[in-house]
Amino acid sequence: MHTGQDFFYLPDDVLDGMRIAPAEIADEIERALVAKSEGRLHTAPKSAIMPGDGRYMMSTMAVGDDGLTVVKQVSVSPENPARGLPAINGAIMVLDAETGLLRALLGANWITAHRTAALSAVAARKLADPASETIAFVGCGVQADSHLQAFRDMFPLSRVLAVGRGAKNVQRFCASARDLGYEAIAAEPKDALRQADIVVTSITLDYTVKPFLDARWLKPNAFAAITDLFIPWDDTAIDIFGMVVVDDLEQERAMDKPMVPAQAISGDLADLVMGALPARSLDAPAAFAFRGIALGDYAASALALRHAEASGAGEKIAP
């Protein structure tokens, strides 16, 4: 129990410098899923506000039996890059669950990027073809970078296909992938999906975007990690997926605008990890579609705090 006024300050650059392995975050998320299923971790559905001008504000909250409460607030602003700022910014508070006192203040950008990729990695452990060699990215920003980091040690990947609206982003991402030893090329959406064993879509959350991806283009063994609310996908082809897993069924039911029809959902990530869903067949594509869940932010933030306490990373502030 924390009774003092001191707390850790862990901005994004410090979190990045801690070099927490993607697999470690994925393992922590799996443990959190088990804890939630056993009643040892409690979460509230994600809340979101979309003012209609392209901005997107969201928050999550979770409390666990390890004595922590984690609250995150993030804003997505499409105009930020023109201001020289990341499109996504926010902060995370880690509080003592008993006293309510602040334990740590974290930058939300690193946590959001890496917990999202770790959620995909947890799903990919069950749903992706272990022999996957070609991975396609639709959207070449932060999530493309973090997902490539997460998947590179999981699969025998050799080829990266990049789809994006801006040539500069596509070129930057391809150059980064080549630096990691991959063959990386720009591709059109249809060609990318036809060739990929794994697809990651992470476009800007904008419901005015006309769908331009068709599941009928996917290979039977393909796995799609869909971080963008299914916005770029043609919803008339959802039944092509043999399995569609969402991050949290309770949260999805509470949303005004579902990602996919309820009847298309096979189960959620907890069902997948706990073995409540049948094994995935490689005869039809599989998808993991998610909004982001409080559990993921909780797991990644608690892990980062433990690393900071053990290593002395960041700044200990004592008002």
Is 11 a residue whose pLDDT tops 90? yes
Structure confidence at residue 263 as a pLDDT band (50, 70, 90)? very high
pLDDT for 88: 86
List of residues 6+ apart from 236 with CB closer than 8 A = none
Is 251 a residue whose pLDDT tops 90? no
- Whole-model pTM: value is 0.93
Structure confidence at residue 101 as a pLDDT band (50, 70, 90)? very high
Q: Please state the CATH superfamily assignment of the domain spanning residues 116-292 in this structure.
A: NAD(P)-binding Rossmann-like Domain (3.40.50.720)
Same fold, 7-111+295-317 and 116-292: no
pLDDT for 3: 79
Percent of the chain with pLDDT over 70: 100
Structure confidence at residue 113 as a pLDDT band (50, 70, 90)? very high
One-letter amino acid for residue 269 of the chain: L
pLDDT for 237: 97
Of 103, 123, 82, 70, nearest to 301 by C-alpha is: 70
Looking at 153-214, list the stretches that DSSP marks H as alpha helix, in order from N- to C-terminal side.
167-179, 189-195
Rounded (10°) CA dihedral 75, 31, 45, 231: 60
pLDDT in tens, 42-82: 998 888 898 888 888 999 999 999 999 999 999 988 889 88
Percent of the chain with pLDDT over 90: 84
Is 208 a residue whose pLDDT tops 90? no
Structure confidence at residue 316 as a pLDDT band (50, 70, 90)? very high
Structure confidence at residue 154 as a pLDDT band (50, 70, 90)? very high
Is residue 42 within a helix (H) or strand (E), and if so which, with residue range?
A: strand 41-49
DSSP letters of 61-121? EEEETTSEEEEEEEEE-TTGGGGTS-SEEEEEEEEETTT--EEEEEEHHHHHHHHHHHHHH
Is 211 a residue whose pLDDT tops 90? yes
Q: Does domain 7-111+295-317 match CATH 3.30.1780.10?
A: yes
pLDDT for 148: 98
Domains in the chain: boundaries: 7-111+295-317, 116-292
The token pair at 31 is 């443990």
- How many Cβ atoms from other residues are within 10 Å of residue 210's Cβ? 7
Is 1 a residue whose pLDDT tops 90? no
pLDDT in tens, 213-239: 999 999 999 999 999 999 999 999 999
One-letter amino acid for residue 145 of the chain: D
**Mean pLDDT (the chain, rounded):** 95
The average pLDDT across 175-198 equals: 98
The average pLDDT across 290-315 equals: 95
